[in-house]
Amino acid sequence: MKQFLIPCLLLLSPLHAQEKIAATDEDNSPGQSDLQTNQKDFPNLSEEDRTKFTEHLSEASRLFQQKRIFECLDEISDAEAIFSQSAELLNLRGSCYVEMRAFDKAMVALSEALKISPNNDSIQFNIGEVYFVTKEWQKAHDIFKEILPKIPTNNISLSRFVEFKIFLCKLKLNQNDEITILAQKYDFLDDSPYHYFAQATLAYEKKNIVEAEEWLGRASRIFQDPRIIAPWRDTFVEFGYIDGFYGGEEAATTKN
């Protein structure tokens, strides 16, 4: 699943979920530090339990980053045994389920997280990602549009990535006039892969695979850090342009 899903990141995120983009942006990514446990109940735990909870959560996040999903779920369960009403834990659990292609379970966990932490952009991003990979384009579009203006102005990587998601949703929604405008919104001077992936998208739509791969090759040569490119390429896997481990287009329709 995509690197951009944002669990307690990410992640974004990703919100598988997460992840969830570049290490320099992690502190600004939704979910890295903004998810808070239930402030009313968590402080009532003993100091020992709070410490253990934090240790399990930290280890779960580390395991998720390493794609050790089943071990991550074990750590999440250990943390939930101490304190279950944590939006951060539920967000991370939802991201794990996305990695496992268990989208229904992911949505349940993410929805519970949102009840605890309403209007949390990290959780909303991951819900948008679930809608994206399950091809509910209008719902994904609306969530990404809502999140975009809330992204810090200095987090260009994330804002461009969300804009690209919106671009792809509009493509599936046949909003052709906007597609033409958005495809040219940024050029090669922009500090993100947006331009190259937008042009690759247009080439794929014209069935010009060679041209599309040339655009992707340029992006890879310019943005050599795999942490930058990976979420964008993973998006193409989910969108059906590139075959991935789960088989590209077919993977996006797999549900548990």
What tens digit of pLDDT does each residue of 133-175 get? 999 999 999 999 999 999 888 889 899 999 999 999 999 999 9
What tens digit of pLDDT does each residue of 166-209 get? 999 999 999 988 988 999 999 998 889 999 999 999 999 999 99
The helix or strand, by DSSP H or E, that contains position 67, with its residue range, turns out to be none
Beta bridge partners of 86: 37
Residue 142 lies in a domain: yes
Residue 9 lies in a domain: no
pLDDT number for residue 238: 87
Query: The domain spanning residue 236 has which CATH number?
Result: 1.25.40.10
Residue 5 lies in a domain: no
What domain range includes position 117? 23-252
Name the domain count of the chain: 1
Residue 119, by phi and psi: left (phi above 0), alpha (psi -120 to 50) or beta?
left
38 pLDDT band (50/70/90 cuts)? low
pLDDT number for residue 11: 37
- Please tell me whether the overall predicted TM-score, pTM, comes out greater than 0.85 for this model: no
Which runs of E-coded beta strand occur in 18-86? Answer: none
Structure tokens at 3: 């690197």
Cα distance between residue 42 and residue 65, in whole Å: 25
Residue 1 lies in a domain: no
Cα distance between residue 71 and residue 134, in whole Å: 26
Residue 203 lies in a domain: yes
Residue 45 lies in a domain: yes
Residue 117 lies in a domain: yes
pLDDT number for residue 44: 84
Where is pLDDT greater, at 44 or 54? 54
39 pLDDT band (50/70/90 cuts)? low
Tell me 27's DSSP state.
G
What tens digit of pLDDT does each residue of 62-74 get? 999 898 999 999 9
22 pLDDT band (50/70/90 cuts)? very low
What tens digit of pLDDT does each residue of 74-121 get? 999 999 999 999 999 999 999 999 999 999 999 999 999 999 998 888
Residue 96 lies in a domain: yes
Q: pLDDT averaged over the chain?
A: 82
CA dihedral of residues 25, 68, 121, 191 (deg, nearest 10): 30
